[in-house]
Amino acid sequence: MTLKQVASGSEIDERLAALITNANAVRAIASAVEGTIGSKGLDSMLVDRFGEVVITNDGITILTKMEVNHPAAKMVINTARAQEDEVGDGTTTATIMAGSLLTEGVNQAIKGVPVTRIIEGVRVGVSRAVELIKERSRPVSGVDDPVLRRVALIAGRGHEDIADLVTEAAALIGSEKLLDPSFKLADTVVAEESAQNEVFMGLIISQQRMNQQMPKELEPVTVLVVDDALEPEEVEEEALSTEAGFQRSLELQEEFKDNLRRAVALGVNLILVDRGVSDAAEEILTDAGVMVLQRVASKELRRVAEHTGARPIKRTGLKKEPADLEKCLGRAERAVEDERLEHVRLLGGKGKPLATILVGAATAEVVDERERIARDAASAVQAAVRGGVVPGGGAVEVAVAREIEKLRESIRGMAAYGVGCVSEALKRPLAQIVANAGFNPLEKLGDVIAAQAERGMDSLAIDCETGEVADMLASGVVDPTLVKTYALKAAGEIAEAILRIDTIIKKKDEASEGSKPPAPDSGGPEEMDF
C-alpha cells in the first residue's frame, strides 16, 4: 500500500504518513528478497557503479550489498545482520514476515485501530507463536542423525556435495563443539577456485612462505605466533641522529637477532606474523630452515593459536627466558604449502580440534557464491544440533497461524487485530514459496490449511514439483527450529519498532550549526523536512 492509496489530504493521511512511508520502505526491502525463497527461488543480480556483478539468492548478501538510504529499510538490514550473526540463516524469512507484519499493521491502523493496540497484539501473537514452534520441534539425536544431511541439503540449495562436506565436518567436530556458543561451524568454510572438495582436521592459512628457500613442508611443527611485526625495536628518529641513539639502535638489532636464534634453538620451525618481517629476520630464519608466513589475518592467527595451543606474543616477547618462551609455543603434526592454491595447511594441532571445509569452485566467478552456500548449510546444521528441527516448506508457520487465529478469538479489545497481523505474517512464507514455484498462492494456502485441519497433521505443505499437498517430514523437508524462532522474533521486533515511529524529522547539521544566520521567524507553523 502507498500513500496515494489513502485519501489525499485527509486527517488519516497526516496521522499515519510516517507509518505508511516506513512500511513502504520495508515492503520494498522484502520484495527484493522474496523471489529467492524456497526450492524454486531465483537469483538476484547486484551491480555496482563499476559494473562489478554479484549473482546470488542469499538473503543477507542481497540485503547488505544493495544500496539503501531509507532509515526504516536500514533498520531491517541491521536486524538481518543480527540474525546472521546469531544463527547464520533465516534472514529472508525474517524480512518477508516483517514486511507482512507491517503491511497488515498499516491496514488495521487505516481502519482506525490504535497503533498501541496493534503493537500490544503483535507482542502477544509473536510470543505465543514462538512457544508453539518450540512445542513442535523435534530434537536431533546427534551428529550422526540422518536429518542433518537433509537440513544441510535444503540450506545448501540442493547442492549434494556441499551437504556431504558439511555433515562430514559436523561428525568430525562432534556435538560438544557444535553446542559451544563461541564456535561457528560456518567459520570453518573455505572456498577456492580449482580446489577439490575436502574436509580435514586442521586449518588453512591463506598465505605462502616468504621465499622459495624456506621449507615447503614441516613435520612435526613447533609454532610461534607473533601478533606484531617481526623486526627490531626502533629508536626514535631524533635520538637516532645522536651517537648514543645510533649505538642503541645497533644494540637493539643485535639483541633481536639473538632472540630469533634462541627461538630457533627451542625447535621453532613455523612462525606466523601479523605484520611485516625485516630482512635480517628473513635471512636468519631462512638459513635456520624455518617457514615464515607474514601478514597473516588476525582471525587466522587466533585460529592457529587455538588449534596449536600457542600463545600469541609481541616482538618484545622474544626477550623472554627460554623456559617462559617455551610456554608460548604451539604444536602440530604437519604443515605443508600448496603452491597451486597458494596457501599453507596446518594439520593435527595439539590444542583444540578444528576442521576445515574446503569447497572447490570451477571458476573465480562462483567461488564467493559456493562459499555463501556452504556457510548457510553449516550454520543450519549447527542450529539443528543446538535446537532441533521443525517441518519446513512453510508448514510449521501455517500450523502455528491456525493456532494464533484461535488465540485471537479469546482476546478482548482491539489488541486482537494485532494478533491477526501475526497470523497473516506466518502464512506469508508458504505463500511466497508456492508463488516462486509457479502456483497460485491463495489456492495452495487454502489447500494446506484445509488439509492440516482435516488430517490433523502440522507437517503438511505444498510439494513444489507437483503442486500437491505433501508431508514435509516424510519428504525430508525440515528446517532448524532456532532459525524459525529467531526469524519470527526478529520480524516482531522490526514491526514493533517501526510501528512506534509517529513522526519523521530531519536532523539539523550540527557540524555547520552557527555558520549560517538564523532564518527569520515568519510566525507560521514550523516546517519539518521529511
In order along its 530 residues, the chain shows pLDDT tens digits of: 444 444 444 555 566 888 888 888 888 888 889 888 988 888 888 888 888 888 888 888 888 888 888 888 888 888 888 888 878 888 899 999 999 999 999 999 989 999 999 999 999 999 999 999 999 999 999 999 999 999 999 999 899 999 999 999 999 889 998 998 888 999 899 998 888 999 999 999 999 999 999 999 999 999 999 999 999 887 676 766 677 777 887 888 899 999 999 999 999 999 999 999 999 999 999 999 999 999 999 999 999 999 999 999 998 999 999 999 999 999 999 999 999 889 999 999 999 888 899 999 888 778 888 999 999 999 999 999 999 999 999 999 999 999 999 999 888 899 999 999 999 999 999 999 999 999 999 999 999 999 999 999 999 999 999 999 999 999 999 999 999 999 999 999 999 999 888 777 777 776 655 555 555 544 443 333 33
Instruction: Kindly state whether residue 520 falls inside one of the protein's structural domains.
Output: no
pLDDT at 108: 93
Q: How far apart are CA 90 and CA 284, in angstroms?
A: 52
Same structural domain, 352 and 423: no
CATH code, domain carrying 374? 3.30.260.10
Is the preceding omega at residue 220 within 30 degrees of 0, hence cis? yes
CATH code, domain carrying 130? 1.10.560.10
Same structural domain, 368 and 468: no
Q: Which residues contact 34 (CB under 8 A, 6 or more apart)?
A: 92, 95, 96, 99, 432, 436
Strand partners, 291: 270
pTM of the model as a whole: 0.81
Same structural domain, 416 and 314: no
pLDDT at 3: 41
Instruction: Kindly state whether residue 100 falls inside one of the protein's structural domains.
Output: yes
Q: How far apart are CA 479 and CA 430, in angstroms?
A: 13
Instruction: Kindly state whether residue 516 falls inside one of the protein's structural domains.
Output: no
pLDDT at 62: 87
Same structural domain, 223 and 353: yes
Show the cell assigned to 133.
Answer: 514452534
CA distances from 391 to 225, 326, 397, 528 (A): 46, 53, 9, 49
Same structural domain, 402 and 320: no
CATH code, domain carrying 221? 3.50.7.10
pLDDT at 515: 53
Residue 164's domain comprises 147-194+362-387
pLDDT at 4: 44
pLDDT at 524: 41
Helix residue ranges per DSSP H, 310-362? 322-326
Closest CA to 84 of 387, 393, 303, 376: 376
Same structural domain, 211 and 350: yes
Same structural domain, 125 and 151: no
Instruction: Kindly state whether residue 131 falls inside one of the protein's structural domains.
Output: yes
Same structural domain, 371 and 265: no
Instruction: Kindly state whether residue 530 falls inside one of the protein's structural domains.
Output: no
Q: How many other CB atoms are there within 10 angstroms of residue 302's CB atom? A: 13
What is the count of structural domains for the chain?
A: 3
